[in-house]
């Protein structure tokens, strides 16, 4: 259930959130964006864990985070919950952390 008792739409029904091109030229579709800008530990890690738990195998998730400690902890958390850290990209005032569910 979402905020105020409304049921949230399933994440699989959402349209792709963009694309990611890896250094080797592989293009991946981003299936979900987790926006945790302004949040501090442990919320970014918990929201990432939740998104990975709801995702289908092979889904790519972008986590937008501006807390340096959370950004540094995400690759370890992702590995511990059945995901793979693909790449972290520094944006203007935040990081874009890309992860894939195993």
ω into 42 cis (within 30 of 0): yes
Greater pLDDT, 10 or 72: 72
Assigned CATH topology for domain 15-101: Translation Initiation Factor IF3 (3.30.110)
Provide the pLDDT confidence category of residue 17 given band limits of 50, 70 and 90: confident
Task: Provide the residue ranges of all domains of the chain, joining segments of one domain with +.
Answer: 15-101
Q: What digits encode the pLDDT tens for the residues 32-70?
A: 999 999 999 999 999 999 999 999 999 999 999 999 999
Q: In Å, how far are 10, 29, 53, 100 from 58, measured between CA atoms?
A: 17, 10, 12, 6
Considering the entire predicted model, what is its pTM? 0.82
């Amino acid at each position: 259930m979402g905020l105020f008792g409304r049921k949230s739409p399933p994440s699989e029904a959402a349209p792709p959130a963009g694309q990611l091109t890896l250094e080797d030229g592989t293009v991946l579709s981003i299936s979900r964006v987790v926006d945790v800008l302004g949040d501090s530990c442990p919320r970014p890690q918990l929201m990432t864990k939740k998104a990975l738990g709801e995702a289908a195998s092979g889904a790519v998730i972008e986590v937008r985070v501006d807390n340096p400690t959370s950004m540094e902890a995400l690759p370890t958390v992702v590995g511990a919950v059945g995901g793979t850290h693909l790449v972290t990209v520094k944006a203007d005032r935040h990081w874009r952390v890309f992860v894939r569910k195993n």
